[in-house]
Structure 1
Amino acid sequence: MDVDEIEAWCKRKQIACENAVVLSGFDANVTDDVLLQALSLVKAFGIVKIVDRCLDVASKTQFVLIQTSTDLTKQTIPDCVGLPGKAGPWPVHVLPVLAEGEGFEAKLLSFLRHEGKTITDVKGLLNPSPLDMNAALINAISSLVDKCNTAPTDTQSYRKLRMFSGVRPTPSGEEEYDAWAEQTMHLLEEWQCSDNVKKQRVVESLKSPAADIVRFLRAQNPSATSYDYMQALETAFGTTESPSDLLIRFRQTLQCEGEKLSAYLMRLDKLLHCVFRKGGVQLSEMNRLRIEQIVRGALPQDMIALRIRMTHDHYSCPQNHS
């Protein structure tokens, strides 16, 4: 739910934006009593009231609109709320409110906060000394201009991930884990954007229970990267084989009689990506391992493989095919 939608929701319910909190990823089965108990743990909210709920079509969960007795623009708000071990966590969304007469510095800080930045991203901007005030503002504006210039290109090239929940049997319209993870890892390498954007795109493609795993990881470790998300999902839904076992299986995978080299390469690539997702190989090593295994495991009479062998200077292992 974007800023405009939250503002419209607040207007319909006649709530001041500075007293509005929206929770996302909320399970419809969770009662108001449980939610109020979780909200009571956040002192910055003061006295709270559950105003409304609406369905998030993408994740099949709910958005919940909360009214607080405190001015949230003057409070430190947590990223998530919940009852540890019982319910949640649910991401917290508040509106950046700019008061009349605020200076450029305050508006800039509010914008940075809304874009998911922190004060440390713009060093010296908050209560800076007179000497570094101009430099801090110039750096902040330059960063925002670069972001604005690159965002449209990135948006145009953005190819959405397929949906994945981890439910078995796989529901219609979703992917099995291996196919989803292979596509996701490929796109994470391909996307030219910040890791925060990559994380958002991964989360957008998830439904419960897979979405819950990432949500809890984010609550426990707010600095987790998109690859940390994938490692957590790999642990939950991937193969139980260890990285070393997978690498051994990769090295023992040979081309079958009558199998096209392209089909053999696809089998190798699928196994190699499993090793990579498990952390058993670095991205920079994958091309070398792929070529070495083609040279080692392809049929002797395959002409394309023969050409690869002739140009592969570092190949020294004997052929495994009899």
Structure 2
Amino acid sequence: MALTKDPFLQAELANWCKDAGIDETYALMLLNVPVHTEVAEIEEEMEAVKALGRVHVRDTREGPTSRSLLVLCECKQAINPKCIPTEVSWGQKSEPWSVIVIQTQESASDTATGGFTEKFAKFLMEEGKSFSDIQALISPPSAPDSSPESIICAMGEVFAKTVKLPSDSNAYHRLRTFSAAVLTPVGEENMETWMDQARLMITECDCSEKEKRRRIVESLKGPALDIIRAVRFSDPEASALQYLEALESTFGSPESGEDLYFKFCLMRQGTGEALSEFLRRMEKTLSKVVEREGLSLGLVENGI
């Protein structure tokens, strides 16, 4: 997905416009602007884009790295997203600035229509197919036929062979809310429980990687959501598992693998605790020991 159409960045720009009291149809947001760039330089560079007209820098925020800024600009005239470049070059050795504008329904529709071929080609590539597979279905050696009806039928066959409908996606439709607050608010999950649910969703849910990322993001708020926003800024293609790793490294227990191993060795069944519950606790702790490299997976599989 292009950064210009990233839903997170679109939402960031819309919220920023509300805070600054700017009409979002007149606003744009710049990414990757070096921290020491002067306001006059930014305005001069953006005014070189004729479709923008007069440009004023209204606000700045810290970017995804300490060396870059997010810049909110207001234009004198309404912005037509179809006439705005996705990037603006600044300096010969500097990284180009990404330009984010609010995508109108009309421009989004045009983009969707114009990009059908590209999206279909990407779909075939992800499924290990090619246009030649379509051609083979459309025009078999014995009876060549390239009518619209045959093309539709052929595409239907390809989709039927390549698209695997999730059988249990509803079982993990929604994760409970998690914010990483020090004291878990009412209605939210603590980190350990939420991480277990999220890992189960990732490993068991038969849905796309994009859908897994969406389900994780929609369950987050507060500091936890801020961390994932930073991950997406630095790597828009980060996987759902990388989201969890980022949350674990930020908010997880500081205990080392050795500490967790000693904790595991000292575990005892509690008074009145069912054996099944005790074994479940041991399994969970042992998994953390392996994750923190307190024990190798080989030793665990061989019975330590």
Q: What TM-score results when the alignment is normalised by the length of structure 1?
A: 0.53
Match of 2:52 in 1: 47
What does residue range 260-275 of structure 1 map to in structure 2 within 5 Å? 260-275=274-289
Instruction: Give the superposition deviation at 1:176.
Output: 1.1
**Could you say what the CA RMSD is over the residues aligned between the two structures, in angstroms?**
5.0
> Which residue matches 1:224?
238
Q: CA deviation at 1:276?
A: 5.5
Distance verdict in 2 for CA 1:209–1:134, change over 3 Å: same
What code does the residue aligned with 1:38 have?
M
Instruction: Indicate whether 1:174 and 2:188 are aligned.
Output: yes
1:38 is matched with 29
TM-aligned CA deviation for residue 217 of structure 1:
0.5
Structure 1 counterpart of 2:11: 24
**One-letter identity of the residue aligned with 1:134:** S
Superposed displacement of residue 183, structure 1: 1.5
Which letter maps to 1:95? A
Instruction: Report the alpha carbon displacement of residue 146 of structure 1 after superposing the two structures with TM.
Output: 5.2
Name the SS for the 2:181 alignment partner.
Answer: coil
1:255 matched to 2:269? The reply is yes
C-alpha spacing 1:96/1:37, structure 2 compared with 1 (3 Å):
closer
Contact 1:170 1:176 survives alignment (8 Å): yes
Tell me which residue corresponds to 2:116: 107
Deviations 1:264-308 (A, max 9, x none): 1132133234346657678xx49x84xx8xxxxxxxxxxxxxxxx
TM-superposed CA distance for 1:227, in Å, is: 1.2
- Structure 1 position 202, deviation (Å): 0.8
User: Helix, strand or coil: the match of 1:172?
Assistant: coil
Per-residue Cα deviation, 1:112-152 (whole angstroms, up to 9, x for no partner): 7xxxx589758998xxxxxxx5347779957754565515x
Q: How does 1:91-130 map to 2 (within 5 A)?
A: 95-97=108-110, 107-110=116-119, 121=126
Deviates more, 1:270-279 or 1:181-190: 270-279
Q: How many residues end up aligned between the 2 structures?
A: 228
Aligned residue in 1 for 2:220: 206
| Structure 1 pair 218–30 and aligned structure 2 pair: CA distance change class (3 A) | same
Structure 2 partner of 1:134 = 132
Which residue is equivalent to 1:303?
Answer: none
Residue 295 of structure 1 corresponds to none
The equivalent residue for 1:163 is 177
Retained in 1: the 8 A contact 2:209–2:240?
Answer: yes
Structure 1 residues 119 and 32: CA distance shift in structure 2, 3 A: farther
**Per-residue deviation, 1:169:** 2.3
Instruction: Please say if residues 231 and 277 of structure 1, whose CA atoms lie closer than 8 Å, have aligned partners that are also in contact.
Output: no
Q: CA deviation at 1:232?
A: 0.6
SS at match of 2:238: coil
Of residues 48, 57, 68, the one that matches 2:79 is: 68
Contact between 2:169 and 2:205, CA under 8 Å: does it hold in 1? no
The separation in 2 between residues aligned to 1:91 and 1:268, in whole angstroms, is 51
> Offset at 1:110?
4.8
Tell me the CA shift for residue 252 of structure 1.
3.3
What is the aligned-residue identity percentage? 26
Query: In structure 2, how many angstroms separate the alpha carbons of the residues matched to 1:122 and 1:77?
Result: 31
What is the CA-CA distance between 1:91 and the residue it aligns to? 11
**Structure 2-normalised TM-score?**
0.55
Q: Describe the SS at the equivalent of 1:209.
A: helix
| CA pair 208-99 structure 1, distance change in 2 beyond 3 A | closer
| Structure 1: gaps spanning 5 or more residues | 1-17, 50-65, 79-88, 126-132, 293-313, 318-322
Aligned to 1:68, the other structure's residue is in SS state coil
Distance 1:123 1:75 in 2: 33
Given the superposition, is the C-alpha separation of residues 160 and 30 from structure 1 closer, same or farther in structure 2, using an over 3 Å criterion? same
- 1:15-56, CA deviations, whole angstroms, 9 ceiling, x for partnerless residues? xxx9xx9812565674256x846249797995399xxxxxxx
1:190-205 to 2 correspondence within 5 Å?
190-205=204-219
Q: Do 2:29 and 2:101's aligned partners in 1 also have CA atoms closer than 8 Å?
A: no
What SS does the corresponding residue of 1:38 show, helix, strand or coil?
A: strand
Q: 1:224 is paired with a residue of what secondary structure? A: coil
| CA deviation map 1:201-256 (0-9, x unaligned) | 11111112211111111110223211111011011211111234223322332334
Asked if the contact 1:234–1:278 (Cα under 8 Å) also holds between the matched residues in 2, the reply is no
